[in-house]
Amino acid sequence: MPLVLLGIRASLREEFQCSSAELVYGTTLRLPSEFFQPPPSMPSVPVYVQFLRDVLHNIRPSDVGPRQSNRPVYVPKDLSTCDFVYIRTDSVLKPLQPPYTGPFRVLKRADKHFTVDVKGKSDQVSIDRLKPAYALPVTAAAASALSLIVPPVAAAAPPPARAVRFAT
């Protein structure tokens, strides 16, 4: 409602050849539409659209570089000399499931993969998935100490059969 009154006070009165605001205040009122005038250097819409088309036509994608990184992959030093390796499991693991399986015997080595004996079959595995397996050397003293700690397991005799009677 106040904008309507402002418009009425700013309208021209024919009998006085001025607005009622000029009679009361001695000057004209500024209407809200006069506060927001377009800038004088604004190009017309077709010229601006053509300018945008030219700019977008000349845009070229920037070079993001190679997708694969050139960082060296960590390879353990002992991987080239070890006899047994662990193989990393590259799947979703269940809780408390070990991330590596093995140890497996190394049959043949190459630059990027090893041939490994997995459950009786030879399988080529990338060196990125391998970890060397370390084992303590078994000496005669260690074997005799182990035999003192852990007694040999003898073949157990089957338990005696029991006679069962059924009441009739």
Per-residue pLDDT tens digits for 30-70: 666 666 666 566 556 678 788 888 888 888 877 776 666 66
In the numeric block, which tokens belong to residue 50?
């053509």
Q: What is the torsional sign of CA 74, 80, 86, 92?
A: positive
Mean local confidence (pLDDT), 86-97? 90
pLDDT at 164: 66
Answer whether 93's CB lies under 8 Å from 101's CB: no
pLDDT at 132: 92
- Architecture field, domain 77-132: Roll (2.30)
CA 165 vs CA 61, 162, 168: distances in Å: 90, 10, 9
In the numeric block, which tokens belong to residue 48?
């601006």
Per-residue pLDDT tens digits for 92-110: 889 999 999 888 999 999 8
Mean local confidence (pLDDT), 67-83? 78
The ranges assigned to domains in the chain are 1-35, 77-132
Q: What is the torsional sign of CA 152, 158, 160, 162?
A: positive
Sheet containing 113-118: order of strands: 121-126, 113-118, 100-109, 84-88, 130-132
pLDDT at 1: 46
Mean local confidence (pLDDT), 69-97? 84
- Beta-carbon contacts of residue 11 (< 8 Å; ≥ 6 apart): 19, 20
Per-residue pLDDT tens digits for 107-143: 999 888 899 998 889 999 988 889 998 877 767 766 6
Mean local confidence (pLDDT), 17-36? 70
Judge whether residue 166 has pLDDT over 70.
no
Greater confidence (7 vs 3) lies with 7
